[in-house]
Amino acid sequence: MASALTWVHPDTPLPPAEMARSNPPGLVAAGMDLGIARLTEAYRKGIFPWFSEGDPVLWWSPDPRMVLMTDELHISKSLGKKLRQIEHLQNNGQFDVIVTTDLAFAAVIHGCATRGHPIGAQLDGQPDSSTWITPDMKSAYWQWHQAGDVHSIETWVNGQLAGGLYGVCLGRMFFGESMFTRTSNASKIALVHLVRFLEHRGVTMIDCQMQTDHLASLGARSIDRAEFLSHIRQAVDEPGFVWPAGWIDSIGQCHQDLPSGVVLNLTDLSFFSYDESP
C-alpha cells in the first residue's frame, strides 16, 4: 500500500526531492503555503508547485528532468534567418521587433495563464495549460518578481507585446516556468535572447521541468533527477548577478535605455497587476 502523502505546514520544511512518489510520478508533498520563503526553499531543492485552482499546493520533482544547456541551444534555419533579419534591422536603427526583460512581467504571466503553455509537458493528473497558472500562482510569482528573483522576457512587434516567457533565477541557475506567443516565433525569439543573456552571466543550465517535443527541437534534453539536483545544488549557491530591466540585443547584452524612437505599448498593459493576494 502506498504511503501517505506528506503534508507540509508553513513551519515545516519540504522533504528532499529524492522522496518523490512513484504514483503519481514526481509528487513530493502537498500544503497551502506559496510564500516567497517556501518557493525559494522549493526551487533550491529542485521542486516546483503545480496544482489546479481550489486544490492544495502540490509540489513536484519529476524524474527525468528536461533541461536546456545554454551551449546546446538549437536554432532552426528558419528561426536563424528571422534572428539575422532582426539583428540587421536593429543595426540599421529599425526596431520593429525588440526583446526586453522585466518591462511587462504581469502581462507576460497573464499571457501564459490565458494563452500560453508550461515550459514542460503536462504532469499526470495535473491541470492543462489553460488552468494551471491560478490566481494564487500569479499573485505569488508577482510578489517574488517584486522581490527580485523572478523575471520575464518579452518580445514586441511594432510596439505590441507578441509573446514571452518567465522564470526564476537563483544564483547561476534559471528555472523556466511558462511561455506564450501571439505571433509566429515570438516565444522562441524570447528564449534565444534569454539564453544569450544568461550565457554572458555564467548560467549554463535552464530547467525546463518536463519533456516536450517542442523543447527537444530547441536542444533541450532529459537528465535524471540525481544529475539535475547535483547541478542545481552548486549553481544556486554561486554568487548571483544584477538583472537589469531593459532591452536585450542580438548577442545577449542588456541595455537599460530603450533605443531612440522605440515606443512600447505599456499603457494597455497597466491593468495587469497583482499587488495583493486574492
Shared domain check, 208 and 178:
yes
Tens of pLDDT, residues 102-112: 999 999 999 99
Residue 17: give the domain boundaries.
7-60
Shared domain check, 150 and 83:
yes
275 pLDDT band, cuts 50/70/90, is very low
CB 220 within 8 A of CB 64: no
Shared domain check, 167 and 54:
no
- Whether residue 278 is contained in a domain is answered as no
Assign 3-class secondary structure to the chain: CCCCCCEECCCCCCCCHHHCCECCECEEEEECCCCHHHHHHHHHCCCEECCCCCCCEEEECCCCEEEEEHHHCCCCHHHHHHHHHHHHHHHCCCCCEEEEECCCHHHHHHHHHHHCEECCCCCCCCCCCCCCCCHHHHHHHHHHHHHCCEEEEEEEECCEEEEEEEEEEECCEEEEEEEEECCCCHHHHHHHHHHHHHHCCCCCEEEEECCCHHHHHCCCEEECHHHHHHHHHHHCCCCCCCCCCEEECCCCCEECCCCCCCCCCCHHHCCCCCCCCC
The answer to pTM > 0.85 is yes
56 pLDDT band, cuts 50/70/90, is very high
Shared domain check, 107 and 11:
no
Tens of pLDDT, residues 4-48: 899 999 999 999 999 999 999 999 999 999 999 999 999 999 999
Mark which of 60, 76, 104 sits at the end of a domain: 60
- Averaged pLDDT, 39-64: 96
- The values of phi and psi at residue 272, to 5°, are -85, 100
Peptide bond connecting 24 to the previous residue in cis, omega within 30 degrees of 0: yes
Shared domain check, 22 and 106:
no
Count: domains in the chain: 2
Q: How far apart are CA 189 and CA 180, in angstroms?
A: 11
268 pLDDT band, cuts 50/70/90, is low
- Averaged pLDDT, 191-210: 96
* High-pLDDT (> 90) share of the chain, %: 83
pLDDT at 127: 39
Shared domain check, 35 and 95:
no
- The pLDDT mean for the chain works out to 90
Shared domain check, 31 and 90:
no
Shared domain check, 161 and 30:
no
- Whether residue 260 is contained in a domain is answered as yes
- Whether residue 143 is contained in a domain is answered as yes
Shared domain check, 143 and 229:
yes
123 pLDDT band, cuts 50/70/90, is very low
Task: Judge whether residue 269 has pLDDT over 80.
Answer: no
- Averaged pLDDT, 173-196: 96
pLDDT at 212: 84
* Nearest Cα residue to 151 out of 273, 218, 244, 42: 244
Task: Judge whether residue 182 has pLDDT over 80.
Answer: yes
CATH of residue 258: 3.40.630.70
pLDDT at 211: 83
- The values of phi and psi at residue 43, to 5°, are -65, -35
Shared domain check, 80 and 130:
yes
Nine cell digits for residue 90: 536593429
pLDDT at 277: 32
Q: How far apart are CA 178 and CA 165, in angstroms?
A: 6
pLDDT at 2: 56
- Averaged pLDDT, 191-217: 94
Quickly tell me which residue has 532582426 as its cell: 86
Tens of pLDDT, residues 189-198: 999 999 999 9
Q: Which residues contact 275 (CB under 8 A, 6 or more apart)?
A: 142
Shared domain check, 134 and 95:
yes
